[in-house]
């Protein structure tokens, strides 16, 4: 069987692809120039990109082209220098130096400028990586015993080990690194500790309430059940409350992640942080194709229909006038978004139970009350 020659695609613009068969270009009618070989007919859809993606692609293509031209110029200069050196060696000129350093001409306009962070940006990056380490550790601890979430448990551990590798590579070169945050090593040690610890026995099923008290219990309808969250495992919640690697009580979880314990029809609730992400997505994805699909997929992880419904409701006449989505859609101004976490310095490593913040979960407040009552008794016993 005769093998079909490969097709190479060389996009010269964002709208018109050009095909080449064995290095020879095809005309507009699909025929091969200067050869009688009949090519395979290939139908390609014309790709059309809108702003700002089209501008980004054009800028990237120009940058690559400039870098390629600078590389060609450098190679030509090196070939000229080597050719001159070979000619001198053939004449056995004693003035030839074997360790001559080749000069390379680098044009300033051909080199991309390096990116540097100022002091405030470095502090912001430090806070974000500290929060990232805490969230990865929390997800791993909540997923490690759930069979349906084995992939999440594995990938969160991999991300933590990857941060450790990035930091080690820079430190081996005696260079400063932003990956070495104060809670990274403690998070890796905690993961190793829980893996070596014996698994607790499964909890016995809860016994039903007596008939005398059963009539006083509230009835869980589908509407009220959609607001109920499964409780955290007791041993995991104790780790969250008492380990100093969890620097931000505002980021602590409020429920278990086991999908078997959640209601099948969960009501979608949007937090203030998610509303802020929606505003930023509407601003930065403005003018792109299917911006709602991009926002719902990469920023919120919610369905496209649910996202559009939420934006429509928050922009309706019954919505509060001070909500960030309505302010952006009506005034085209991004308001000051609320800060999710307070800033924590690396030297201020305390467990969440020893911190006092207004946004901590309710279960942590209960543990604080219990510890405050048990601490005087323990001190008197000692």
Distance between CA atoms of residues 120 and 257, nearest Å: 35
The pLDDT score that the predictor gives to residue 191 is 96
Q: What is the mean pLDDT of each run of 10 residues along the chain (382 residues)?
A: 46 45 44 51 56 74 84 78 57 49 50 76 93 96 93 96 94 90 96 84 56 48 52 90 94 89 75 89 88 87 89 91 90 84 90 85 87 70 64
Say yes or no: 263 and 280 in one domain.
no
Q: What is the DSSP string of 32-81?
A: BTT----PPP---PPP---TTHHHHHHHHHHHHHHHHHHHHHHHHHHHHH
Say whether both 259 and 134 belong to one domain: yes
Is position 91 within any domain? yes
Rounded distance, CA 278 to CA 289, Å? 16
Note whether residue 351 is domain-resident.
no
**Residue 84 located in a structural domain:** yes
Distance (Å) of CA 342 to CA 6, 127, 159: 57, 9, 24
Is residue 10 helix, strand or coil? strand
* Confidence (pLDDT) at 211: 55
pLDDT at 19: 43
State whether 299 and 176 are in the same domain: no
Residue 8's beta-bridge partner residues?
20
How high is the pLDDT of residue 197?
A: 83
Q: Is residue 85 part of a domain?
A: yes
Is residue 261 domain-resident?
A: yes
Residue-by-residue DSSP string for 201-255 = PPPPPPPPPPHHHHTTSPP--HHHHTT--PPPPHHHHHHHHH-TT---GGG---S
Indicate whether 171 and 232 sit together in one domain: yes
User: Looking at residue 298, what DSSP letter applies?
Assistant: I
Q: What is the pLDDT of residue 362?
A: 87
3-state class (DSSP) for residue 164: helix
Structure tokens at 358: 């207004």
Is the CB of residue 113 less than 8 Å from the CB of residue 140? no
What is the domain extent for residue 100? 53-110
Packing angle between helix 324-331 and helix 272-284, nearest 10 degrees?
A: 20
pLDDT at 52: 67
CA distance linking residue 373 with residue 382, whole number of Å? 15
Asked if 93 and 177 sit in the same domain, the reply is: no
315/324 Cα distance (integer angstroms) = 10
262 occurs within a structural domain: yes
Task: Locate 137 and state its tokens.
Answer: 């550790």
Query: Do the domain assignments include residue 134?
Result: yes
The number of distinct structural domains making up the chain is 3
Q: What pLDDT, on the 0 to 100 scale, is given for residue 171?
A: 92
pLDDT at 17: 47
DSSP element (H, E) containing 19: strand 17-21
Residue 12 lies in a domain: no
Same domain, 125 and 256: yes
Nearest one of 269, 270, 275, 271 to 334, comparing CA atoms: 275
| Residue 255 shares a structural domain with residue 176 | yes
Q: Does residue 319 share a domain with residue 256?
A: no
Among candidates 184, 193, 188, 205, which has minimal Cα distance to 236?
193
Residues 78 and 188 in one domain: no
Residue 349, Cβ density class (10 Å: 0-12 exposed, 13-18 middle, ≥19 buried) = middle
């Amino acid at each position: 069987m005769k093998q079909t020659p490969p097709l190479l695609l060389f996009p010269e613009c964002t709208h018109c692809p050009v095909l080449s068969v064995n290095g020879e270009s095809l005309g507009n009618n699909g025929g091969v120039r200067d050869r009688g070989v009949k090519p395979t007919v290939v139908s390609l859809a014309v790709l059309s990109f809108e702003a700002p993606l089209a501008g980004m692609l054009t800028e990237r293509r120009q940058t690559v082209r400039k870098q390629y031209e600078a590389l060609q110029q450098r190679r030509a200069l090196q070939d000229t220098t080597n050719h001159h050196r070979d000619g001198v060696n053939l004449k056995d000129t004693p003035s030839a130096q074997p360790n001559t350093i080749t000069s390379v001409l680098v044009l300033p306009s051909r080199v991309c400028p390096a990116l540097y962070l100022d002091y405030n940006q470095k502090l912001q990056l430090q806070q974000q990586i500290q929060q990232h380490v805490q969230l990865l550790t929390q997800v791993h601890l909540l997923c490690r015993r759930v069979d349906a979430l084995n992939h999440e448990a594995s990938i969160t551990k991999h991300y933590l080990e990857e941060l450790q590798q990035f930091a080690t590579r820079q430190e081996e070169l005696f260079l400063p690194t932003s990956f070495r945050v104060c809670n990274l090593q403690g998070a890796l040690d905690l993961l190793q500790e829980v893996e070596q610890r014996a698994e607790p026995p499964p909890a016995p099923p809860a016994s039903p309430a007596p008939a005398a008290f059963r009539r006083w219990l509230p009835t869980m309808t589908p509407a009220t059940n959609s607001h109920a969250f499964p409780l955290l495992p007791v041993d995991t919640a104790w780790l969250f409350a008492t380990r100093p690697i969890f620097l931000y009580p505002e980021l602590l979880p409020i429920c278990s992640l086991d999908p078997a314990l959640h209601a099948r029809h969960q009501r979608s609730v949007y937090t203030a942080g998610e509303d802020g992400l929606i505003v930023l997505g509407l601003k930065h994805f403005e003018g792109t194709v299917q911006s709602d699909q991009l926002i719902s997929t990469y920023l919120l992880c919610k369905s496209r229909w649910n996202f559009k419904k939420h934006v429509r409701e928050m922009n309706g006449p019954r919505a509060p006038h001070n909500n960030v989505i309505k302010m952006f859609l009506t005034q085209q101004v991004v308001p000051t978004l609320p800060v999710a976490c307070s800033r924590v310095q690396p030297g201020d490593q305390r467990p969440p139970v020893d911190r006092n913040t207004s946004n901590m979960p309710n279960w942590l407040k209960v543990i604080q009350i219990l510890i405050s009552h048990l601490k005087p008794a323990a001190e008197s016993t000692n």
